[in-house]
Amino acid sequence: MLRWAGLTWVELTLGVRTRNNGFLVAVMAGLAAVVSSLDRSSHLGGALSNRIGVIWMALLFLGMLETASGLLREELPSRLSLAIGSRLSVFWSKFCAAWMTLAGAAFVLVATTGLARAHVGGALVCVILGITGITAVGTLFYALALTTERAGPVLPVLIVPLELPILICGMETMQALWSGKDPALWIHGMMAFDAIFLALPMLFIDILWEV
Amino acid sequence: MVRRTGWVAIVVALMVVALWMDLQGAPDDAVLGASQRIFYIHMGAAVAAAVAFTVTLVASIGFLLSKNLRYDVFAAASAELGTLFTSMVLLTGILWGRVAWGVWWTWDPRITATALLWMLFSGYLLWRESLDDWERRARVSAVVAIVAYLDVPLDYMTIRWWRSIHPVVLTIRGIHMAPSMVWAMALSEIAMLGVYVVWMRIRVTLFTCEYEIVQAKNLRRLGTTSKGV
């Protein structure tokens, strides 16, 4: 547990030192500006689905950027053996660092768009489940890329379709919350998605990082 | 060679009978008319795709358990054919949907899940192509195939879990079709599965040859290097 917490701290500080997180914050600020301008424009003004759509698309791309920067930082698979004992703790530390950055981004995006005003609890649950799924898929697939040097550019082709279900469930949950419908089905969908993609690395990570 | 030609002849005969049944033998639908006939090919291709992806899943698990590259060859060949059959499903579905629903495409849960399936296995095939080391490619591809397969049961259940405009033909209460239509559908499915089996044999043979050539080249290169040393 201590090793995992230490590694997560290293990941987060490394992100700050290498200015990866700064880049992400800049991207996030840009997206928030787009959302705000959409909100004020006359023809799209206040359209709930637009705001929700922009939030989830932003989270999808931020998730891909963050998980990629965390894992592709490891230039050689052999470097992973530096983490004494479990490779799983390396994996989870990268997952947690990406999750925390994404949680910060989600907080800013939801606050900027004013979506949390009416349903704070619902928005929180929805965003937490959503970013967990996005980060879990991203971390698993970028972990695959560690031992496959030339495969990096092909990754988005696999990651985007896999993350679409969580994107759809997240958007539908938010839509249901704000239009007074029952979001239970979509929330259950997100929970199932998260459970699957949090369990898969436990099964596969040692096979994937076999050097 | 004779045995393979025999298999091909059987499958061609099956296809001819199935096509005759689909285009002539089965009656027109009361509402959709002759356009219903697209459905038989659509359903046949869908069943073949499901079987192909299931073979990929089983072969991928087999590889991870045994590390035998023969399983990886089966997984790759079957994923290729599954993707091809899924393309057929999407194409015939688009044509049928235009007549039945009046639109070429709609973001219905079933159609979206099928499009996702096609994208995932296309990604799987692209991913395989980008890796050179056979052992590593097999290992990583097996994991990707297992993850991508998650969409197959999801695709099947979408019309049962969510509100969908896609018709539900198979239910626990039976098949919702006229008996003569059921025959046409069953024949189409058998014929498509026959195409899958024959094509699979050809692809597995080709993949095995490719693997043996790569191995022979590697051995030759190793021999040259050791002589040089």
pLDDT tens per residue, range B54-106: 999 999 999 999 988 899 999 999 999 999 999 999 999 999 888 888 888 88
pLDDT at B61: 95
The residues in A 39-78 lying below 8 A from B, measured between CB atoms, are: none
Place of tokens 């040097």: A149
Highest average pLDDT, of A125-129, A145-149, A157-161, comes from A125-129
pLDDT tens digits for range A82-93: 455 577 777 888
Mean pLDDT of B23-52: 86
Residue B54 CB neighbour total at 10 angstroms: 15
- Per-residue pLDDT band at A37 (split at 50, 70, 90): low
pLDDT at A72: 64
Does the distance separating the beta carbons of A153 and B150 come in below 8 Å? no
Residue B124 at interface with chain A, using a CB cutoff of 8 Å: yes
Least Cα separation, residue B212 to chain A (angstroms): 22
pLDDT at A64: 81
Place of tokens 């919350």: A177
pLDDT at A176: 87
pLDDT at B74: 95
Mutate to test the interface with A, among B122, B127, B157 (most CBs of A within 10 A): B127
pLDDT at A192: 92
Per-residue pLDDT at A199 exceeds 70: yes
Give the nearest chain B residue to A149 (CA atoms).
B131
Mean pLDDT of B8-22: 89
Residue A121 at interface with chain B, using a CB cutoff of 8 Å: no
Residue B154 CB neighbour total at 10 angstroms: 18
Mean confidence (pLDDT) of chain B: 86
3-state DSSP assignment of residue B170: strand
> To the nearest 10°, the Cα dihedral for B203, B204, B209, B214?
100
Asked if residues B193 and B67 have their Cβ atoms less than 8 Å apart, the reply is no
pLDDT at A193: 92
CA distance A91 to B84: 35
Contacts of A142 in chain B (CB under 8 A): none
Per-residue pLDDT at B1 exceeds 60: no
* Tokens found for residue B133: 């080391």
Does the distance separating the beta carbons of A144 and B140 come in below 8 Å? yes
pLDDT tens digits for range B152-203: 998 888 888 877 778 777 777 777 777 778 888 899 999 999 999 999 999 9
- pLDDT above 70 coverage of chain A, percent: 64
Highest average pLDDT, of A58-72, B29-43, B60-74, comes from B60-74
Sorted by sequence, the CB contacts under 8 Å of residue A122 that are 6+ apart come out as A173, A177, A183
Residue B35 CB neighbour total at 10 angstroms: 15
Q: What is the largest CA-CA distance in chain B?
A: 79
Does the distance separating the beta carbons of B132 and A144 come in below 8 Å? no
Mutate to test the interface with B, among A139, A150, A159, A164 (most CBs of B within 10 A): A164
pLDDT at A44: 45
Residue in A148, A158, A207 nearest the CB of B123: A158
Mean pLDDT of B113-117: 92
CA distance A135 to A37: 28
Residue A62 CB neighbour total at 10 angstroms: 26
pLDDT tens digits for range A98-128: 888 888 888 877 777 666 667 778 888 899 9
> What letter would DSSP give residue B133?
-
Contacts of A169 in chain B (CB under 8 A): none
Mean pLDDT of A165-190: 88
- Per-residue pLDDT band at B228 (split at 50, 70, 90): very low
- pLDDT above 90 coverage of chain B, percent: 41
Contacts 24+ apart (CB under 8 A), B30-33: B32/B99, B32/B100
- Per-residue pLDDT band at A42 (split at 50, 70, 90): very low
Strand partners, B170: B175
Mutate to test the interface with B, among A141, A146, A150, A158 (most CBs of B within 10 A): A158
Contacts of B120 in chain A (CB under 8 A): 158, 161-162
pLDDT at B218: 80
Mean pLDDT of B128-147: 86
The more confidently predicted of residues A24 and A155 is: A155
3-state DSSP assignment of residue B92: helix
- Per-residue pLDDT band at B109 (split at 50, 70, 90): confident
Least Cα separation, residue A141 to chain B (angstroms): 8
> To the nearest 10°, the Cα dihedral for B21, B24, B28, B29?
20
Does the distance separating the beta carbons of A204 and B143 come in below 8 Å? yes
Mean pLDDT of A169-187: 86
Interface ipTM? 0.72
- Per-residue pLDDT band at B224 (split at 50, 70, 90): low
Residue B186 at interface with chain A, using a CB cutoff of 8 Å: no
Does the distance separating the beta carbons of A204 and B140 come in below 8 Å? no
Least Cα separation, residue B175 to chain A (angstroms): 28
CA distance A63 to A197: 15
CA distance B18 to B136: 42
Distances (CA, A) of A196 to A103, A138, A174, B139: 20, 13, 22, 20
Contacts of A161 in chain B (CB under 8 A): 116, 119-120, 123
Mean confidence (pLDDT) of chain A: 76
Q: Quote the Cα angle for A105-A107-A111, to 5°.
A: 120
- pLDDT above 70 coverage of chain B, percent: 96
Residue A3 CB neighbour total at 10 angstroms: 14
φ, ψ dihedrals at B31, nearest 5°: -100, -50
pLDDT at B149: 94
Per-residue pLDDT at A59 exceeds 80: yes
pLDDT at A115: 67
Evaluated on CA atoms B192, B193, B196, B202, the torsion sign reads negative
Least Cα separation, residue A42 to chain B (angstroms): 27
